[in-house]
Structure 1
């Protein structure tokens, strides 16, 4: 009997130490479900655990490309920064490349702390110097050239607790190498710009994605993608054109508009045309966006799209945290797509002009039924929740509160 009790106790310990993980060869799906909501994904690991694990495993180098950085005392995200600092302290070379325009969203104290980490070199890159009007919007890292992370999660404490986020831990050697090459290009671009030199384009024509592969990386902007990396602005409409029955999309926001000078919003029809063409073929499209998307003029285009047969749009509003209003949080921020139960798209780009054409963004395409089904279930969970409401084409939506009450 005593042996049986010991065996049962051992099994409980093992079960408690085991972690949930959803993966296919080369890719683990990682997710943040906002606290104090009914949304939950116990089969998916959180980035707090995954990022910490990746930094702990680093032996030679870590590279990070980020839009902005922000932490605060007492946040669980402090653990991530501590693990990064520990890696630097043991001799790991760290290079951190941040969008210069990201300063406006950053916590400058966090930036200064990062700069103090041993063996860490921190640089700002104004990506508009490459494209005329773009930013580093990608959120990614590569560790020892053997593991990488790409997703919607910013280097921000809120992304780990109060925002719906989706990403991938990647060990696919081809994609990891491509991500490293993208970082090396942009790191070198910063050096050229600092010297007052022009950054030469890598591509004059559109680079087609290697979509004969089951999984592959696409990126933007096309002109500065290294060899083997396809153009995301070309691939997204191509995938939508191949859809046969149903497409599920989750985004922070969607609009067939770009960003021009003097706060203008030039028309950008690339993605919108592809969705409308799919609808015209009889494909059903379920688009889910955050309540931040109710700003004018974007909401007018959403209402227009909602009128088409086969189109369903739901707007997601998450409740405030019990601690009170948190600026730039309590929102869905995942950027995912699932097509026909066969294909998953997980990336860093919002679906509007300026992101897939002028800014640095990364998207991973996985022709894998298991991953596609899990992305569809992730979409369905929020779609069916009390937080998601069908768009009302007759409603005059108030301006969303993002940064201040």
Structure 2
């Protein structure tokens, strides 16, 4: 590496965050001429399978990214594991003479900012949804706001991906703040699928999964976790007592057995199915009639926005960044309380009765979330923070 070449380290607690949110960022850094490294947990990769994690590592190495295994834990971690991750990250920074860090995820970003402060190097932090938010639990404000405020003193710049978080970031003592409309969703390409192709993929998927033409198919895409709130959707479907309603959940995670028990206890085994981790979601979105994405907490909700880009009507949580793209009822409906199964059941019935769909004209205002637009903005941020 010559003395003028920047070395940038991308840090994330899980490999899934790299795959789902940061591949474009890594490519931008490479295009700008940086030597790029990734430090994450490839062995416990989060919301993707271990096989997907191995493929991700191979893909990154092929494009010139150096990968480092760091044993981050999820959530708060624990003191022993966190110290180990800190030492591992320090070793990477010291050995490879890292010039800058771009960090993601709460725990990984706390550890990364401690490392950056130790070595006196610049750090950029992308918040994928603050733990505290308007209408959120008081305990989250009491716990997480002081943590973010404290570590903001060690943050050179922060990127927020929804407008609520950007407003909150104005009260944090960081040097610079940026708003980025999401992480880049392939909206233009999704819009370009012809009606014929959409119908073909819809029918093929329904035939393969034994979904009748008259069935009303609801889908949710996301980790099987308490945060993603699949249990409330299941309870709402029980209240509707309609065997033509089918519900497919695409994702993996620690709550699978608990959700299975709930499904069985409610007698919904013939209506609710787990699809596992799906890499290509086109067929699923086109086959569905409604996307229910009522996470209890969400930065923006890629699984919601991606469905909208494919023309799939949505019910989301109005207390999250989803309201940035569910801007009126042409796109979807918003819950005031994501745990209210009665309200959710009512809204599902409204969509089912009216067979609501999203028109192309309703999607066009969302092109600011398109990957090309977002990449241009992220490139400008990188240039200002790391290359100017």
Query: Which of 1 and 2 has higher RCO (CA within 8 Å, sep 6+)?
Result: 1
Instruction: Decide which structure has greater helix share.
Output: 2
TM-score, normalization: structure 1?
0.29
TM-score, normalization: structure 2?
0.30
Instruction: Decide which structure has greater strand share.
Output: 1
